């Protein structure tokens, strides 16, 4: 059971690192989208320019003004992407930190009571499975086999 707990904590910390990378990417894409939307808003033609270009037609022809359209995504979507990216980044950092602390505590633990708090923290701030494995450990699982054999003698 201790081996399963170690493996699940290592996998959880790896998943946390993936969440950190995903959060950074989402924040970067959201920032880029905000820049594109701001650029499109700043370069779009206002109504007075359109009217002036139509009325200043040469030889009686009506000149069609060039009006840039905004991209399909909006500033609200870009802001939402930034916010989601921040939350994913925070979750990834919390998951990685709690998993590594729990793994370190599991290696140094002598009794079940030593890892109980970290099992609860892993359930709350990380994925549920590593926390459940930590909470299900018994004292015999935590102690090494060599230590148990030495006590029996």
- Tally of domains in the chain: 1
| Parent domain of 28 | 2-152
Confidence of residue 96 (pLDDT cuts 50, 70, 90): very high
Continuous segment of H or E residues that includes residue 20? helix 2-43
Pair 63, 53: CB distance under 8 Å: yes
Q: How confident is the model at residue 114 (pLDDT cuts 50, 70, 90)?
A: confident
Structure tokens at 8: 């699940």
**pTM of the prediction?**
0.67
């Amino acid at each position: 059971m201790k081996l399963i707990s170690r493996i699940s904590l290592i996998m959880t910390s790896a998943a946390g690192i993936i969440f950190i990378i995903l959060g950074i990417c989402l924040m970067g894409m959201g920032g880029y989208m905000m820049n594109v939307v701001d650029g499109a808003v700043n370069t779009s033609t206002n109504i007075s320019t359109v009217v002036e270009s139509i009325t200043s037609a040469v030889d009686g022809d009506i000149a069609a003004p060039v009006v840039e359209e905004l991209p399909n995504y909006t500033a609200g979507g870009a802001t939402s992407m930034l916010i989601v990216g921040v939350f994913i980044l925070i979750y990834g950092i919390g998951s990685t930190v709690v998993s590594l602390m729990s793994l370190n505590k599991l290696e140094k633990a002598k009794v079940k009571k030593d890892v109980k708090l970290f099992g609860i923290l892993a359930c709350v701030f990380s994925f549920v499975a590593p926390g459940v494995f930590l909470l299900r450990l018994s004292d015999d699982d935590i102690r090494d086999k060599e230590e148990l054999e030495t006590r029996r003698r």
